[in-house]
Amino acid sequence: MKILSDTVPLDGGTFWMGSDDHYPEERPRRAVTVPSFRIDMRPVTNRDFAAFVAATGHVTLAERVPSPEDYPEADPSLLQPGSAVFISPDRPVPTTNPMLWWTFMIGASWRQPTGPGSHIAGLEDHPVVHVAFEDAQAFARWAGKRLPTEAEWEFAACGGRDTAYAWGRELAPGGAMLANYWRGRFPHENLLLDGWARTSPVGSYPPNDFGLLDMIGNVWEWTADWYSDRPVATPRCCSPERADALAREASHDPADPGRNFPRKVLKGGSHLCAENYCQRYRPAARYPQTIDSSTSHIGFRCAADR
């Protein structure tokens, strides 16, 4: 099946990628050229994903029993279908320990975004969440598309601007929220200034200058690129396949509990980004995520060649 509606054609060009003024993994700011491509106007919604599942019978990673071979250090009795759900603490906690607000919830999935008993009724036009990298890839193939590269995604998010934020130099010009991010003291105080405690319906905020919706905030988005702490392109040493294998291997973080799995680049920030924590509601921001992971704040959009 091929779906190319709701995609925006973008002429390629050279832009300033990355930032020298924010997090170390965004450095260095550098000139990058991308060819012409198409990118979805919006992230994939629950409605879109439900159509994909109905057509293909796809079962997401979060809905399957994990293989003990993939998690040799885990208690086999604990290997059950589920996903990570954000649970706001009821009091101030140190922001240095994400385990104080993330819970692996058995039964959480795209169908039950906050765990057993929850549902997506009324959330059809919200971005789908609890999708692992392979789920996003499977949807993209079904739709006749692919996932955007990190450079394509950032080029699209900038909207032709060269400013810290996708809309200008201020996070909230005139006090206006232009994306779904956390307002208040994360993770315990959410002022709900936009009325949404979690995801918001796609298109609740103005599009960027390329006409793209929700590139910033709402949900993090998977990209096709393997993560590297030093995102500067290196010369190809070999065939594209061998270079990809080397990049995959280099994306592992030996200090991380998920070290058995390689990591991909997430872009865009989410509704959990706050001024006092994770200020990644910017086009240049990037974050590593292991490919076996799904959470209540990660989604995706698709791209295609022109």
pLDDT of residue 241: 87
pLDDT digits (tens, 9 = 90+) for 34-61: 999 999 999 999 999 999 999 999 999 9
Proportion of the chain above pLDDT 90, given as a percent: 85
Short-list 104, 157, 122, CA closest to 280: 157
Short-list 186, 209, 226, 62, CA closest to 128: 62
117 class by beta-carbon count within 10 Å (0-12 exposed, 13-18 middle, 19+ buried):
exposed
* Number of other residues whose CB lies within 10 A of the CB of residue 107: 17
Angle, CA 208 vertex, CA 11 and CA 30 arms, to 5°: 60
Does residue 255 have a pLDDT over 90? no
The β-bridge partners of 39 are 8, 303
pLDDT of residue 260: 84
Return the CA Rg of the chain: 19
Q: What mean pLDDT value characterizes the chain?
A: 94
pLDDT digits (tens, 9 = 90+) for 139-191: 999 999 999 999 999 999 999 999 999 999 999 999 999 999 999 999 999 99
State the fold for domain 7-225+267-305.
Answer: paralog of FGE (formylglycine-generating enzyme) (3.90.1580)
pLDDT of residue 1: 43
Angle, CA 151 vertex, CA 149 and CA 300 arms, to 5°: 45
With bands split at pLDDT 50, 70 and 90, how would you rate the model's confidence at 242?
A: confident
Quickly tell me which residue has 């002022």 as its tokens: 191
How many Cα atoms occupy the beta-carbon half-sphere of 75 within 13 Å?
2
pLDDT of residue 287: 97
pLDDT of residue 235: 54
pLDDT of residue 81: 98
pLDDT of residue 200: 98
pLDDT digits (tens, 9 = 90+) for 290-299: 999 999 999 9
User: How do the domains of the chain map onto residue ranges?
Assistant: 7-225+267-305
Section 82-97 average pLDDT: 97
The CA distance from 186 to 191, in Å, is 10
pLDDT of residue 134: 98
With bands split at pLDDT 50, 70 and 90, how would you rate the model's confidence at 97?
A: very high
pTM of the model: 0.95
pLDDT of residue 53: 97
pLDDT digits (tens, 9 = 90+) for 274-287: 999 999 999 999 99
